[in-house]
Amino acid sequence: MSLILGIETSCDETAAAVVKDGREILSNIISTQIEIHKKFGGVVPEIASRKHLEIVNAVVAEALEQANVTFDDIDAIGVTYGPGLVGALLVGVSAAKALAFALDKPLVPVHHIRGHICANFIEHKKLEPPFICLVASGGHSHIVHVRDYTEFEVLGRTRDDAAGEAFDKVARILGLSYPGGPEIDKCAASGNENFAKFKKVSFGEGNYDFSFSGIKTGVMNYVNNAQQKGEKFKTEDIAASFQKSVVEVLVDRLLEASDKCGIKKIALAGGVAANSRLRKELESRSKGYDIYFPSLPFCTDNAAMIASSAYYEFLKGNIADMTLNAVPYLDIENN
């Protein structure tokens, strides 16, 4: 049995968790900053870093208390060291390094996107690689071939805006609040998704990359033209049409990549994986596939997923020394 303490501070959630053998959660504490950043319409990096610094120790202490363990019981400390906001990452990395040094515990560096993928191992105890995973969030949109627990191959990625980033930007265009993903999803529920057509980009057969900037620009142009002409439209209809376009691109590429690899196991990960339209679209088009969704709390940033990933990296012998640093731009294939 291995107990891993995971620490996550890559963006605006300060989180710590204790996970047993990569699959069983003993605690999972998340302190979110959504209300702090909402008035700015997005995450302010400096504010996020300062808030992490204020509460990271308390969050770790609460995770240990909830798990009913002490530092002596912990076998290793896993921490997100990239990608993410550099100031925010530095808080978590510094806290983890201090603990590892003081307690003489192994320090395990964890890639944030790998962590999102590992959320599925917590939710689905029998899920094992290989499988194809769509990781879609505010900062990332990847199609990943999960060859093994620590071996990942990127099959496709966004060439501009990430899917979640596009949701946030369109939400601002439509006058919706932050975070944009849940607001678009909620607004679209009562809209006509066939109201408007927004151009979807394809890079040709066998290419699984994404581009969402054109869809976003299409929404902006539609709204601006309508306002200049004094034409009225329902925000719900634009939200639904935009959401449909993004979801169809995501699912199209995911299924194409899965078919090309001959792998019928598909998983979702990341904040956009919570989108109801995405889940319904994938379920309706994936007959003959095994589909795995993390539950909504495990789509967003948390430390349990980081501890799960750290467990498998720990078994592989991926241990860092005290020179570990934050890497804001870190490729998933080079953890």
Phi, psi of 126 (to 5 degrees): -95, 0
DSSP 288: T
Q: Does 178 score more than 90 pLDDT? A: no
The domain 130-297 is placed in CATH, from the list 3.40.1350.10, 3.40.50.150, 3.90.1150.10, 3.30.420.40, at: 3.30.420.40
Phi, psi of 263 (to 5 degrees): -115, 125
Classify domain 3-117+299-334 by CATH number.
3.30.420.40
Torsion of CA 200, 201, 202, 207, to 10 degrees: -120
What pLDDT is attached to residue 34?
Answer: 84
Sign of CA dihedral 32, 143, 166, 232: negative
- Tell me the per-residue pLDDT of 18-57, one tens digit each, with 9 for 90 and over: 999 999 999 999 999 988 898 888 889 999 999 999 999 9
> Which tokens in the block code for residue 121?
């191992």
Residues of the chain with CATH 3.30.420.40: 3-117+299-334, 130-297
Q: Round to whole Å and give the CA distance between 312 and 110.
A: 10
- 184 exposure class (CB count in 10 Å sphere: 0-12, 13-18, 19+): buried
Confidence of residue 334 (pLDDT cuts 50, 70, 90): confident
- 278 CA to centre of own chain: 15
Specify the 3-state DSSP secondary structure of 308. helix
Q: Does 11 score more than 80 pLDDT? A: yes
List Cα–Cα distances, 87 to 36, 96, 161, 294, in angstroms: 17, 15, 22, 28
Q: What is the pTM of this model?
A: 0.94
Specify the 3-state DSSP secondary structure of 82. strand
Give which of 114, 134, 144, 105 is closest to 3, Cα–Cα: 105
Confidence of residue 138 (pLDDT cuts 50, 70, 90): confident
Confidence of residue 222 (pLDDT cuts 50, 70, 90): very high
Confidence of residue 286 (pLDDT cuts 50, 70, 90): confident
List Cα–Cα distances, 53 to 111, 142, 211, 226, 308, in angstroms: 21, 30, 35, 45, 24
- Tell me the per-residue pLDDT of 231-258, one tens digit each, with 9 for 90 and over: 989 999 999 999 999 999 999 999 999 9
DSSP assignment of 2-55: -EEEEEE-SSSEEEEEEEETTTEEEEEEEEE-HHHHHTTTS--HHHHHHHHHHH
What pLDDT is attached to residue 220?
Answer: 95
Q: Round to whole Å and give the CA distance between 138 and 234.
A: 25
